[in-house]
Structure 1
């Protein structure tokens, strides 16, 4: 029977042997026991030990025979036993009753073994939600009195608090693990590792946060609607292993690319939508999550995880993986750019070779030599293609009595193969006058034994025809590669064979012309047809083929010249290629062609720019050779132009990425050398500020300190440009940052006769921002305005306004300078872009402004017209502070409770830094001692006790790393009171060391206030452990 006691909500009682009566011997709730349990829960024991301790205390107070804690399974509603004391039932089914879980009648076997007379169950809640139950059992009927039941209710609340604390601890640890992995991934993708190793190490870090049995990274080509697997780890899946490619249709990858969002498959065995899902199911992978890799707003690839378990991926995994996908996307994009460039270079070399062969055959046709020599030379041109092993030219004998070998290149044929019989494969192809390609010649029934002996695998038979369509001969080209003759290669070799056909036809016409004078007209007609075929070949290539006369005017150009000039080929004839070039380019190329004409030289891959009639410009690479008339006089040039605009754009993109990497290396190299002297300047200036100085010396010292801080921020911003990090936000007045920027530029503005008119909307709210970064942003904008308006000593006016726009602050900076051209305004925020003279600007200023504003969640843009001035806009979100109440009171209390008179050891080899530092710390009554290196410090530590140690990381001899290791081995508590001060914060080894120690560190240069805060924290730790 189930009974609910009044006054004890959520507590139920079950009597298995009758109603029973409430005994008079029931113990009252022991308050000391509850207090003891609460104190015990704060101990660092495992949660299982805490559960057993609570149940033991519960049995002791209630005199029950058994107690158990059972946690509810979310999937099926059953209770899982996590702790027990005494003998308990192993299975309990539960049903909801008034938002409570009350035990149903158990099986007879479960009841009989313990002779349970009565039992009571208390729901355990976390955050108002039932998560389990505490169950007490007694062999006595009516054992659980109201006082015992109320005590059980209190214990249920205690267990709920314990479980909630456990969940919070687990959540905190998971967050720390995630941050650690994100930091490591950021370090991996900015390293100089090969992309394959980047993928491997990324997968290792990924396993620390998300469970998976397989991970893959795909590159997608949306234009071709396909994907390529670049990395895969886990069970092999046909079609989805490294190097495999496939269509995006009916794949999870395709859905991700189409929708631009994450796709989660919780159980593919139930919700499989395609044949590709079946492949993964066959490999035992039941659930998946796939995310887009996005760069510059475009999906460039996908990151996919799969698991053998169902329902592995949800919102938590999606959130973690989306952050990781955002980090790995740049590395994937750089890999794709590198691969595209490599393939483009291979294709470029192939096409250059093909074009050279075409030009060589054209030269052979028009050059001196016998007919046989010309044929052999033409076949040698075919042999220049990689993979080609033999090439032959055969002509029919008599009335098709066989095929006679005229010329060959590569291989050697015996006298028996000089004439092939009429039933040979060559003869059959000749008779049918059709192109034939055999991918595996070794398996063909009519294989030529000579070809077989030379190990040839594939062959192409190309009938050579006259202009009238009559078959003159047969060109055979063989390769030792299977399926060598792709459609593209077939077109190329057919074009070359046409040139040989022209040679055969010309030879035939020549012999006819000797005997018959009337055949002259036919010969000329054949030559015109030959030229027509050559022109047709030129018109079907992607390159522009052309001919120039001696004055460098077009006499011929292929129709595709319209793509780069906007004019038909007929409109170009008679014009010079220099007419389509920018003025400076035209003058340069005229000189180049004049020199080539004088020397009668060929040229290769000369870059030049050509303008389209719609204003676009194309970068071309030109190759050509001189042409001579029948008398041997120079008649002009013949050649080709290739559009390399897109290829050069890709190279520029890679170059910019390389420049950014160089900035990072430069910043790392100079940071330590600049930060140490800046730290000394700031420390000495702070000492002088605290003294009573005469006249305007105090103001001068204040300026020295301010400018040193500014220099420190410049170094800091340079490091920020090389390494992304979050801004250090405070609750600030943004208009005050504008005023500080103006004060820093006041002298220059006055000297350049520039008037500043600033107006701000009254009551502008403060916001959370990095004040130093905002000052740097406004300083860069004001500096640009100053420089543009001061050109030619013209002066000007700078109007500055600030107002609230909805939930944003908008500041505008308008000048009446010369303005910015449309072509420059699109690149104004690009790194390294500048319109200034060399040496007057790095091109980093506005790029840094863009990054800093975006890091604050804001926007920056510019509006300008040439001759109408320029306006920069900066818009920042209004964000309220957290936990700022009582700061003034806390600061006063902190000053009153400052710890003084302690022994501090400073370890640094820079005396210019340690001298003022000792004087500052001594003002608080501290006993400060200095060691110039780690060895000297180690000796001092062995002789005296120090409450705090402030040390540099990089020092001659025994450095900070070795000294810290010794301290930790000797006195672990003292090692926790070591504060590191270093200017080498960008060095990866230094970063790793500081992270591994977990100690407090200060990056040079730091302010005295920052130092005093860290010293007080360290001394407070000493006081707490004393």
Structure 2
């Protein structure tokens, strides 16, 4: 093909004399130089196209032929609009033009078009820089997520403390005899606080970027489960479903729960777009396998995505929904999950109508994961504890957390001492031995880790009976410390059930080493929206 392209090029335009700088070059030398130049163009990913006076496009090398086809053109046919418009501007202004073109789906490519017009003949250089653009976008998105993650870490910690108090005291109130109206009102308070806690978890889920728990999985099966969950909503909302699944697609090495979360979020967004646009719609799901990846395409027939929205669609807190209807974190979390899996996610508008989200995941292999340990969140109500009558020290700098833990523990007939700092707690431990110590991690003066080390030096057995509570599961230092120790960890806002489980674990002696790791993993990795988090903090003053 290259030889025929060069022959066509030589008949219309010869660059060899100008390029070689030799006035005595022979036709054979010109042809050799042309061939060498085109080979170099292929090697560097550049395509050269000649456009004649009649507007026909003649690709001069193999790269040009491929890129011309991507732009909607073909050998000897009328030049595509991207080329003709650039050449028209170049002829009008007398200067070369440099434009960037995004080709139409299903395979969108970023192509640079450099056009030069002279004596009725046009020469166009084409270059595909799709991978470079995607890398730039990924780096930009990573920088955004990293910077916002730092902000989220601090905000989440501050929000989790009051949420712990609201949820905890609501549980205590619900344990009392109440008339129906008051009970419903308190249950509403608890439910709204739990909703706020899930929003905080969503904030932390992309800030923490936890390591996925992967296994070999069938993407088609994961998608079908999500579609089954949404089937009822599709029916009552008049949304049709068109599914084309590649039955021969390879299995992939993924965290099934996280990938299903991505599918669910994308499908829910598509569903909402169609309902808002015309009260019904058609959702199309297509999967396809390639040599080293699988692609999942989820498209709708909604209004499409405006360019100004498409540029920011994966940004944290960006939403087009009305106030109170969305956090602007769903697609940000999706982006983080897919990026963590080494894949990519992007969106395009369809030529006819609507938009499509593409998700690509690399094909890989690994060891099957071990079954995870479950960690129940506990019911809203309060049931009797299996352990009572112990001497417990509570250490937290938040007054509301100290009072909450005091009331919960007194409900179980424990004797409680309160300390508002690590220093105050260290002084109490010097003077008295406690069955259990519940301490916050993040406190002014002496933090939970420093307090633990001081207790461990003085009495290793006492240190084994410390329970950590924390709202800061994002900080690398906090995470590293909690993963080193075997003590139970509760992530705020915690429920009464997990608190009692932790107390039983540390009093179970032999059960400590078995129970503690699951509690630690549950606290540190509680980033899914349905997770039930738990945590604690240190107190001041004593009571019994």
TM-score bucket of the superposed structures, by smaller chain: 0.5 to 0.7
Q: Could you say what the CA RMSD is over the residues aligned between the two structures, in angstroms?
A: 5.4
C-alpha deviation, 1:789, in angstroms: 5.6
Question: Which digits, 9 at most, give the CA deviation of each residue in 1:255-285, with x for residues without a partner?
Answer: xxxxxxxxxxxxxxxxxxxxxxxxxxxxxxx
Q: Displacement, 1:997?
A: 3.2
In structure 1, what is the equivalent of residue 219 of structure 2? none
Q: Taking structure 1 as reference, are residues 562 and 725 closer, same or farther at Cα in structure 2, changes over 3 Å only?
A: closer
Q: Secondary structure at the match of 1:819?
A: strand
- Alpha-carbon distance between aligned partners in 2 of 1:754 and 1:640, rounded to the nearest angstrom: 50
Q: Equivalent residue of 2:490, what SS?
A: strand
- After superposition, residues 313-324 of structure 1 pair within 5 angstroms as none
User: Which residue does 1:987 correspond to in 2?
Assistant: 475
Task: Output one character per residue of 1:847-898: Cα deviation in whole Å (capped at 9) or x when no partner.
Answer: 59999xx9xxxxxxxxxxx99xxxxxxxxxxxx9999xxxxxxxxxx95853
Q: Which residue of 2 aligns with 1:997?
A: 485
How many residues align structurally? 396
Measure how far apart 1:664 and its partner are: 6.7
Contact between 2:258 and 2:337, CA under 8 Å: does it hold in 1?
no
Deviations 1:651-674 (A, max 9, x none): 667777778877876765554334
In 2: Cα distance, 1:754 partner to 1:1004 partner = 38
Q: Could you report, residue by residue, the CA deviation over 1:24-60 in whole angstroms, capped at 9, with x for unpaired residues?
A: xxxxxxxxxxxxxxxxxxxxxxxxxxxxxxxxxxxxx
Q: Take 1:532 and 1:776, find their aligned partners in 2: how far apart are those partners?
A: 58
C-alpha distance after superposition, 1:827-852 (max 9, x if no partner):
449xxxx969551455549959999x
Give distance in 2, aligned partners of 1:568 and 1:788. 34
Equivalence for 1:558? 60
Whether the 8 Å contact between 1:899 and 1:1020 is mirrored in structure 2 is no
Distance 2:490 2:417 in 1: 19
Q: Give the whole-Å Cα distance in 2 for the aligned partners of 1:620 and 1:961.
A: 54
Give how far 1:609 is off: 3.9
Which segments of 5 or more consecutive residues in structure 1 lack a partner in the other structure? 1-360, 367-495, 506-525, 630-634, 728-737, 757-771, 795-815, 855-865, 868-879, 884-893
Cα shift readout 1:774-796 (whole Å, capped 9, x = no counterpart): 998998599558625632463xx
Q: Measure how far apart 1:979 and its partner are.
A: 1.2
Tell me what 2:282 maps to: 818
Per the TM alignment, residue 908 of structure 1 is displaced from its structure 2 partner at its CA by 0.9
Q: Is the 8 A contact 2:286 2:297 kept in 1?
A: no
2:87–2:116: 8 Å Cα contact kept in structure 1?
no
2:110 equivalent among 619, 627, 642: 619
The whole-number CA distance in structure 1 between the counterparts of 2:127 and 2:503 is: 68
Cα contact 2:57–2:74 (8 A) shared by 1: no
Deviation at 1:646, TM superposition (A): 5.2
Pairs within 5 Å for 1:466-865? 499-501=20-22, 503-505=23-25, 536=35, 540=39, 541-542=41-42, 543-548=46-51, 553-554=55-56, 557-558=59-60, 560=62, 561-566=64-69, 571-572=76-77, 575-578=78-81, 581=82, 590=85, 596-603=90-97, 606-609=99-102, 618-627=109-118, 637-645=122-130, 648=133, 668=153, 670-713=155-198, 715-716=200-201, 719=204, 722-724=209-211, 783-784=268-269, 787-788=272-273, 790-792=275-277, 794=279, 817-820=281-284, 826-828=296-298, 838=313, 839-840=319-320, 842=329, 844=331, 847=334
Residue 436 of structure 1 corresponds to which residue in structure 2? none
* Shift, 1:962, TM fit: 1.8
Structure 2 Cα separation of the partners of residues 755 and 642 of structure 1: 44
Contact 1:910–1:932 under 8 Å retained in 2: yes
The Cα shift of 1:921 comes to 1.5
SS of structure 2 residue aligned to 1:998: coil
In structure 2, what is the Cα distance between the partners aligned to 1:775 and 1:598? 54
CA positional deviation for 1:530? 8.0
Please give the residue correspondences for 1:89-104 in structure 2 after superposition, counting only pairs within 5 Å. Answer: none
CA distance in 2, matches of 1:912, 1:1009: 19
Give how far 1:982 is off.
Answer: 0.8
Residues 643 and 973 from structure 1, CA distance in 2 versus in 1: closer, same or farther, beyond 3 angstroms? closer
User: Partner of 1:696: helix, strand, or coil?
Assistant: helix
Q: In the alignment, is the contact (CA less than 8 A) between 1:624 and 1:640 conserved in 2? A: yes
Residue 703 of structure 1 deviates from its aligned partner by 3.0
Aligned in 2, Cα 1:984/1:775: closer, same or farther, shift over 3 Å? Answer: same
User: Quick one: structure 1 residues 835 and 909, their matched pair in 2 at CA, closer, same or farther if it must change by over 3 Å?
Assistant: farther
Calculate the TM-score normalised by the size of structure 1.
Answer: 0.32
Partner of 2:446: 958
Q: Is the 8 A contact 2:57 2:79 kept in 1?
A: no
- Tell me, in whole angstroms, the C-alpha distance in 2 between the residues paired with 1:908 and 1:920: 15
Partners of 2:266 and 2:273 lie apart in 1 by: 11
Is this contact kept in 1: 2:115–2:125, CA < 8 A?
Answer: yes
Provide TM-score, normalisation by structure 2: 0.56
| Distance change in 2, residues 1:713/1:726 (3 Å) | farther
Q: 1:946 aligns with which of 416, 423, 434?
A: 434
* Cα pair distance change 1:639/1:531, threshold 3 Å: farther
Q: Taking structure 1 as reference, are residues 706 and 777 closer, same or farther at Cα in structure 2, changes over 3 Å only?
A: farther
Does structure 2 retain, via aligned residues, the 8 Å contact 1:899–1:1016? Answer: no
Q: Tell me: CA distance 1:777–1:1001, structure 2 relative to 1, closer, same or farther (3 Å).
A: same
Indicate conservation of the 8 Å contact 2:156/2:471, yes or no.
Answer: yes
> Are 1:780 and 1:849, in contact at CA under 8 Å, matched by a contact in 2?
no
Distance verdict in 2 for CA 1:711–1:597, change over 3 Å: same
- Structure 2 gaps of 5+ residues are 1-13, 215-225, 240-256, 289-294, 314-318, 321-327, 342-351, 354-370, 375-382, 513-544
Q: Whose radius of gyration is greater, 1 or 2?
A: 1
Q: Distance in 2 between matches of 1:659 and 1:849?
A: 11
1:951 is displaced (CA, Å) by 0.7
SS in 2 for 1:969: helix
Give the whole-Å Cα distance in 1 for the aligned partners of 2:263 and 2:134.
32
Structure 2 vs 1, CA of residues 907 and 594 (structure 1 numbering), >3 Å: closer, same or farther? Answer: farther
How far apart are the structure 2 equivalents of 1:644 and 1:774?
29
Query: What displacement does 1:980 show?
Result: 0.9
In the alignment, the residues of structure 1 paired with residue 438 and residue 107 of structure 2 have an alpha-carbon distance, to the nearest angstrom, of 62
Change beyond 3 A, Cα 1:622–1:933: same
**Are the structure 2 counterparts of residues 948 and 823 from structure 1 closer, same or farther at C-alpha, using a change threshold of 3 Å?**
closer
Write out per-residue CA displacement over residues 335-382 of structure 1, whole angstroms, 9 at most, x where no aligned residue: xxxxxxxxxxxxxxxxxxxxxxxxxx959x56xxxxxxxxxxxxxxxx
Structure 2 distance, partners of 1:962, 1:882, is 29
Distance 1:716 1:773, change over 3 A: farther
Alignment of 1:912-927 (within 5 A): 912-927=400-415
Q: CA deviation at 1:907?
A: 1.1
1:904 corresponds to 2:389: no
